[in-house]
Structure 1
Amino acid sequence: MNRNRVYPLAIGQCLILIASGLFGPLVTAQPPEQALINAGGQRISVPVGDVNIDSWWFDVGPEIDDLKPALIHIHGWSEEGIHTGRYSAIYARAFSAARNIVGLGVTLRGWPGTGGENDCGLQQPSDISKIIDWLEVQPGIDPDRNGIVGGSQGGQVGLLAAAISKKVKAVVAYAPLTNVTTWHESTDLAEEMINEYVNGTCSTPGTKTDRSPIFVAEDIEANVLILHGEADERVSVNQSISMHESLLAAGENSTLITIPNAPHDPGAPEWDELATLERVWSWLDGNL
């Protein structure tokens, strides 16, 4: 086992959902571009300043007379060179099919397709807030019902983006990193990774505090759903418990679901992922 690996959202999860038939022609955990096209995806590029965010647009639900809500799906950390945004695209497609919510699966700066440098949540939240601005003026989109789904670093970035943009209606965060200042105290990351990434990339420029959603909880007006495995050794469940408590203390709407015996990877059997997704979709029905 590679103890430096931070699971994207999520290899096992993708395989389970593909097997369930939710994705139709998608047949691999990290699908090739043509498979995403065959599944109804449209690859687009959204300018946010110095980079263009590589994205996959999915609107595969039935046509309706009303405007549709939309969700930005954000991947977690992965090794350099992996087309991590394709994991995001899979979930954009799944949520669109299940709840008729337009999905935009994005690739954060620092990964192939978008380029730039991964900054551990410093500028990435601003990128996402600009995509929210872009999304709300797209034809057929309800500007008052836009949200974010993210896992691990994607959850961190999503929460920080919601602190920037008051246009975000809902955030679903799987196992989010919420306090970078204490991350090194409870993680299975190897010492080398802690030194290079946690105390390096996540520390400068800016500070660990700048990258920590817990310090801007009072600025998050979106409805928030946090899900976290109780046996997560990569990002402690205490990070989500503290974030949830901070949101409640600030008078915000927050729901926390902890999964007994579950690790960081939401695709692990302990997550009972299909049942968990139903809980997420039900929550979105009333909060997006």
Structure 2
Amino acid sequence: MKTTFTYKQINDCSIKGDFYSTEEKNAPLIVYIHGGGLIWGSREDMHKEQIKRYQEAGFNVCSIDYRLAPETKLPDITKDIGDMLQWLHDEGRKTYDFNADKIAVTGSSAGGYLALLSGTLPVKPKVIVSFYGYGNIQGDWYTKPSPHFLKMTKVPENLAKQLIQHKPVSEAPIERRYAIYLYCRQQGKWIDYVTSWNPGINADALSMYCPVENIDADFPATLLLHGDADKDVPYQESVNMHEALSNAGITTELITIPNGEHSFDENMENPTVTKAFDQVISFFKSNL
């Protein structure tokens, strides 16, 4: 059963989540954060088969929205994730039956990045699972034109800017927003659009939003999954994050999907993906 809630209100922008209950009482909660380069997407993007698998394994599931860039910048997007975790601890547990001491955060791509970033927040999840997320937003892959995206139809800046709204938005389909992301990747301007900061001048400010640089002893147990043929987010991002977590003594595992491309988990009929999800569920059960 799905119920929808609002965990935050910013003027006329309602930021919502969908809660999927399992039959078990006081069960752990898995919070899913969608991808979309922080620019598009919604809570409804979570794969229904994944929800079903988690519920059958005895977990409640919650898929959330957050304010999108470039209308909202990264510090406020991060605050939405923190406020969501605080809301679950303070208010959500009054409405829904889940164990507030056993909350995990998972996400894909930009959602995987935000999941990793949640490990640096005051209210942390107990477990993080990142699907092809990234720990460093200052790497060349994001701050310079992408060879992969340069092969696609060139997006002019005026088109990208025409798609930007004049008020905050917390959910938007890819069809209305992908050109913004494509322009950013073709020009190496994702940082500019998502933060309004200059990577060369504001490196210290940006480093606060790089999970790989902000690992401490309290960082949650973390599982990373990444395809080694990903042309959007480099596989090396998860390798680097895994190494940094290991060096800090954090419980961590890295699952490599051979020849796996970006969004490999959308193919839930692939035996390799099915096996990976069995490992994800095992990681949740072992660490929650």
Q: Above 0.5 in TM-score? A: yes
Measured in 2, the distance between the counterparts of 1:242 and 1:166 equals 24
The 5 A counterparts of 1:1-288 are: 40-47=1-8, 52-59=14-21, 61-64=22-25, 67-77=26-36, 84-88=42-46, 90=48, 93-110=51-68, 117-119=71-73, 121-137=74-90, 138-139=93-94, 140-182=97-139, 183-184=141-142, 188-190=148-150, 192-194=183-185, 195=187, 197-205=189-197, 207-218=205-216, 221-266=219-264, 267-268=266-267, 272-288=272-288
Cα displacement (A) at 1:148: 0.2
Instruction: Tell me, in whole angstroms, the C-alpha distance in 1 between the residues paired with 2:75 and 2:194.
Output: 8
TM-score by length of 1: 0.73
Given that 1:187 and 1:234 are in contact with CA atoms closer than 8 Å, whether structure 2 keeps it comes out as: no
State the alpha-carbon separation in 2 of the partners of residues 187 and 244 from structure 1: 26
Greater gyration radius: 2
Q: Is 1:136–1:143's contact at 8 Å kept on the other side of the alignment?
A: yes
CA contact (8 A) 2:127 2:222 kept: yes
- Counterpart of 1:70 in structure 2: which amino acid? L
For residues 174-198 of structure 1, give each alpha carbon's deviation from its aligned partner in whole angstroms, at most 9, with x where no partner exists.
Answer: 0002211113367623384233642
Q: Which residue in 1 is equivalent to 2:163?
A: none
SS in 2 for 1:136: helix
For residue 86 of structure 1, give the secondary structure of its aligned residue in structure 2.
helix
RMSD (CA atoms): 2.8
Q: 1:223 to 1:152 in 2, by over 3 A?
A: same
Give 2:57's aligned amino acid: R
Q: Judging changes above 3 Å, is the alpha-carbon distance between structure 1 residues 62 and 178 closer, same or farther for their aligned structure 2 residues?
A: same
TM-score, normalised via structure 2 length:
0.73
Q: Which residue of 2 aligns with 1:13?
A: none
**Structure 1 segments unaligned to the other structure (5+ residues):** 1-39
The Cα shift of 1:223 comes to: 0.7
Counterpart in the other structure of 1:11? none
Distance 1:249 1:167, change over 3 A: same
For structure 2, the 5+ residue unaligned runs are 155-182
Distance 2:147 2:63 in 1: 28
Contact 2:231–2:262, Cα closer than 8 Å, also in 1: yes
